[in-house]
Amino acid sequence: MNRGIAARSARLDERGVALPLAMMGLVVTALLFTAVLLSSSTEVALSGAQQDAAGSLYAAEAGIEAYAATLPPTSKLMPTQTPVVYTLPGSGQKVQITIAQLAAAGAQRYYSIMAQPLVNGRPRGRTVVAMLRQSDPTPPANFANNINSAVTLGGDLHVNGNAFTVSGRAVAGDTCASNGGVDAVEAAVNAKVDANNEKHMQNFLGANGKSGRAAIKTTNDQRADLVARVLGLEEGQTIRDFIEPIPLENKWGPMFNRPAFRGTVDTLQTGDRGLAVVDANGGTVSLKGGIGMLIVVNGNVELKGNVRFEGIILVEGNFTLSGTPDIVGALISLSQKQKGAGENVSMVDLDDNALGNGNVTVQYHQCNIKQAQRFFNQVSVKNMETSSTFAWAEVVR
């Protein structure tokens, strides 16, 4: 009997183990599931935090770039007394901008520009700072304006016809002139002026009653020295250095990666627009008139028909005057071309129509020359320049 009771007790004990084991299994499974959930939640939180941090970094960087692009390039930067709220175009994201001046060295100043995103109107997220450099305007280019004649020649001039006047004498209305005017022509040492008829040379008129060849001054200057003296260049400088400070909007032609010149400066008559620099690309610019200063490099210039220009024409090559043109100011040809050397030279080629119209081909006019000089100086001043951002860093708090 006892053996039967013991056997039944053993069977009962075995059946009682199942419940605790099942409970333990559920507990382990729950713990594992909880661990997985916690791990997933942590990963999601970390991913969200990383996304927010990266987003705030990109927003701060974009805010600096966008805000810097709105700064007036010709105005002096001022440190911000309180942060400025700036809205990025397109996204609507707002950032807080702070500008501080760091240092100044000569004509240059250095600034920091700091940006932090705003969330619900409050700064939040990563802060980025970059540097800006600003340069003060440079002084005007040195255009000394040592023009001492109606026509300045680096090379030869040939005259065909008698219906012209090249005059350096002072005229009515030129209130800037003094001492009765200047020579009709000033030429480099090897330059020559000739005519198909020697009588036509009497149409050159200079100050103090000079006329004919007496009104033509041949200097001891080589062509390069004459150019330097007339334009006020420093030693070793060329006409390319002379035009370098002039902004691109006043330049035309392939040398400047700009469209070709259309042959007129009639629209360049006021303010700082009275200046055109033209790369003729080895050809000839046909001028239709205007006021101010025209500079032609790498080519020639011609005035045909009833054309009037008031100011200075400076051409690196030759000039040709035909028809009934008027230049009231000064004409400068820097060409070294000599007649008989297989090259075309500067040419005055007028017919009787010019005489019938009472035409003055080139008349020295000091007031018009000074006005052209003012145009040049106004345009050639380099404005205050603000650099793009550089030297980026993240501000760690």
117 contacts 103 by C-beta, under 8 angstroms: no
Comparing 181-195, 205-219, 261-275, 322-336, the range with the smallest average pLDDT is 261-275
Q: Look at residue 119 in the predicted model and tell me its pLDDT.
A: 87
pLDDT in tens, 259-274: 887 655 444 444 445 8
Length in residues, the chain: 397
Q: What is the share, in percent, of the chain residues with pLDDT greater than 70?
A: 78
Q: What span, in angstroms and rounded, lies between the C-alpha atoms of 43 and 50?
A: 10
Neighbours of 166 (CB within 10 A): 28
Q: What span, in angstroms and rounded, lies between the C-alpha atoms of 277 and 179?
A: 32
CA angle 27, 29, 35 (to 5 degrees): 100
- pTM for the full model? 0.64
What is the DSSP code (8-state) at residue 181? Answer: B
Averaged pLDDT, 320-338: 87
3-state secondary structure of 335: coil
Q: Look at residue 271 in the predicted model and tell me its pLDDT.
A: 41
Q: Look at residue 60 in the predicted model and tell me its pLDDT.
A: 82
H or E segment and range at residue 131: strand 127-135
User: For the CA atoms of the chain, what is the radius of gyration?
Assistant: 40
368 contacts 103 by C-beta, under 8 angstroms: no
Calculate the CA dihedral of residues 81, 83, 84, 88 and round it to 10 degrees: 150
Identify the band that residue 310 occupies on the pLDDT scale cut at 50, 70 and 90.
Answer: very high
Identify the band that residue 329 occupies on the pLDDT scale cut at 50, 70 and 90.
Answer: very high
Q: Look at residue 268 in the predicted model and tell me its pLDDT.
A: 46
| Closest to 287 (Cα-Cα) out of 304, 299, 270, 273 | 304
pLDDT in tens, 119-160: 888 888 888 899 888 887 665 555 767 899 999 999 899 988
Q: What span, in angstroms and rounded, lies between the C-alpha atoms of 298 and 59?
A: 50
H or E segment and range at residue 277: strand 275-279
pLDDT of 347 strictly over 70: yes
- Phi and psi (nearest 5°) for 363? -125, 120
Q: How far is CA 303 from CA 28, 134, 299, 320, in A?
A: 102, 44, 14, 6
